[in-house]
Chain A
Amino acid sequence: MKSRHLLSGIAFAALVAASSASAAELRFACYQDGVECDAWAEQFKAFEAENPGTTVAVDVVPYKSIVESLPLQLASGEGPDLARVTDLGGLAKYMLDVTPYVADAAKLEEQYGKTLAWTRVNGPDDKGIYAIMDQQTATGPFVNKTLFDQAGVDMPGEGATYEEWAAAAKKVAEATQTPYPMALDRSGHRYAGPAISYGAALFDENGDPITVDDGFRAFSEQFVAWNEDGTVAKEVWAGAGGATYQDAAKEFTNGSLVMYLSGSWQIGRFGRDIGDAFDWLAVPAPCGPGGCTGIPGGAAIAAFKHTKAPEELGKLLDFIAREDVQAKVLAKTKNIPANQALQVKGIDYENATDAEKAALTAFGNALAGFSPVAFQFQGYKNNRAIMNATVTRITQAIVGELSLDEALDRIDADVKEAVAAAQ
């Protein structure tokens, strides 16, 4: 077995040689839905010029790697120095507080305070800066305006309820022989928006999850009924099992869906794939007794504790947070800004059509009015347990494996168990 040691020895030597080539090399594990990693790689050239001796290597990885491999790598003390992640609360225990290395922590707090809170899991005194959001998202509805025009149905205005929108979408679908009036992404995250609008509180006064209450039940009843009567496209939820994510972007793009409850990340894709085929709009979230909210979300770039170059890493995160850098990246990736200053100023999106620009503005404005519960939900560290349970169990109720009551009981039990295991 000499050969094994010899060979891994050679590999090890090669690694050492590679890492000593520059003073500090930061590895960035990045997943992308569009061109996010490419846009960052371009910006990092400026960072490298400002900080001679530090290099940033962008490793573009599949999202699956971020979800499944990264936690394992981090737990074993391996893995990248920084990564683009979505499970902020879950990974927070591995994140590095870069406060000592940033130029102006107070300014970052002011600009990113709302989303920085999502990584602060160590109690109310935790004021650390762990991750900077580079893709703020907001959930909300899109409509196919051309279908409304063809059907001659007036679009419900701001403040209209879910029932009013459902009725209108159904009328349009019937008149234009469109197969699906509405669709909601198969995702617990998307589900939470309407659930909160129907009055779900999700958390008690201590911030512990209660998940199923009257509001949650009310929307669940409505949603299951909509699946039965064909108001929403049944295959989106019923077509998969477990917590598998499924969207209805294809149906919307090819014009067979009137109203699509999804989120801001679809805008660039719709702009590209729909082109001139029909007019589409982002409209304000429909309302319920609990308000008219969507759910914020997104991806952030997080720094990790095990890095060998914390100072350089801190500087890089500071760079990533910079207003001008964010503006340039967002202009390319067509996302709404998380930076408060940029939210006010707006972004000059590159090559964006009027429809895309209008939709980006609509979502940016909607974000400001989201319910505090929505932000609390997104910032809750075990929110994925709630999302997984919702998707799995509500689907079972839709296809008839469980009654709705049983499904809701199971959601409660699943969430309780998960929260207990996560301590």
Chain B
Amino acid sequence: MLRSFLTRTRGRGRLDLTDWLTFGYLALAVVLMFGPVAWMALSSFKTESALQEYPPSLLPLAPIHVEVEGYDEPLQLFRVTGGEHEGKLLAQVRRIGLMSQMVDPQNPGERLQVNINDRVPEREFALAVENYSALFERFNFALYFWNSVFITVIATVITILFNSMAAFALSKYRFRGRTFVFILIIATLMIPPTINLVPIYLVVSELGMVNSPWGVIWPAVATPTGVFLLRQYMLTIPDDLLDAARMDHASEWRVYWRIVLPLSAPALAVLVIFSVMWRWNDFLWPLIVLTRSEQFTLQLALNSFQGDLQTSWSNLLAMTVLTLLPITIVFAFLQKYITTGIAQSGVK
């Protein structure tokens, strides 16, 4: 499947494509892009023991338990695949070593012996909602959601404001040091963010912002990517428009706020999306700055069950689905604006 995908796309370069190939490519893309996400979402509704199974079942299944007369607890139902009781549906009383003691639910009086290799559990479709409810029960979801929303919204507003002001200065004025400042800002993209964590923490700690949402917000708002993106876009706004406004005695602030900002809307939309995505997905930095659980973001809280020695896939998958859900919903509503916005702000 993959190979044909690769060779098929190679053929693209020659541009002798038919619509059939185009749609083959696009259909494959839908499967490849959404398939793994959908598979994970489905898996997140399986119980831990169902997740350990191989080969995995497509849908979440759970073993069937039946009430049998004479037994207090419901008994698990099996289909017998071999031996003298082959083909029967039996309930298991207990397993001892290699043999399983079973009863026929229709005839509970008689105990039957079945080898454990000769039976498979009967199962039915069932969602393991407990993967999710366990996460919800563990903490105050509303509080962490609010903390995340607060940080995301405030940081995004400040990012947009500061970055667009800087981009405006760098694209619409001529002054000494302009190129230097621009290169300086772009150069910071070269330093891997991981290595700056320790020095930034020292600065934040000096400023007394540890354990405050502002300790997460301020270090994040001056993004070089944002300045770069907005500057490139503002370069395409004709200067005549600005000069005309200045002739009418508009202040520089008015020029920026009333003319440049509205004209940059598509690029700003892109930055909004990116900023929301960055701040919402942020994990490592909040992990270092925030230690009090009442300040935690959703990402921190959801990760708090990650221990040293055990990974529980059922919780992990449920957590993953929960974190990508808000982003997916926002995207589904805004996808038209996002994709056209990015397409228009395409850096020239």
Contacts and interface: CB of A to CB of B under 8 A. Distances in A.
Contact of B307 (A34, A57, A73, A256): A34
A77 B211 CA distance: 13
Contact of B214 (A11, A146, A250, A273): A11
A86 B97 contact: no
B213 interface: yes
A377 interface: no
Contacts of A33: 307-310
A352 interface: no
A32 B307 contact: yes
Contact of B287 (A60, A62, A149, A254): A62
Contacts of B306: 31, 62-64
Interface stretch (B47-55, B248-256, B263-271): B47-55
A69 interface: yes
B310 A59 contact: no
A295 interface: no
Interface in A29-58: 29, 31-34, 57-58
A417 interface: no
A11 B213 contact: yes
30 contacts: A8-B207, A8-B218, A11-B212, A31-B308, A33-B310, A57-B292, A58-B293, A59-B291, A59-B296, A60-B304, A60-B305, A61-B287, A61-B300, A62-B300, A62-B304, A64-B306, A65-B288, A73-B210, A73-B288, A78-B205, A247-B310, A250-B52, A254-B54, A256-B54, A263-B309, A265-B309, A269-B310, A272-B48, A273-B49, A275-B49
B52 A32 contact: no
Contacts of A31: 304, 306-308
B273 interface: no
A34 B303 CA distance: 13
Nearest to B54: A254
A70 to B, nearest CB: 9
A122 interface: no
Nearest to A262: B309
Interface in B290-346: 291-293, 296, 300, 303-310, 313
Interface residues of B, number: 43
B291 A80 contact: yes
Contact of A72 (B117, B288, B300): B288
Contacts of A14: 212
A59 B293 contact: yes
B62 interface: no
Nearest to B47: A273
Contact of B293 (A57, A69, A276, A279): A57
A65 B287 contact: yes
A12 B52 CA distance: 48
A79 interface: yes
Interface string B192-226: 00000110011001011111111000100000000
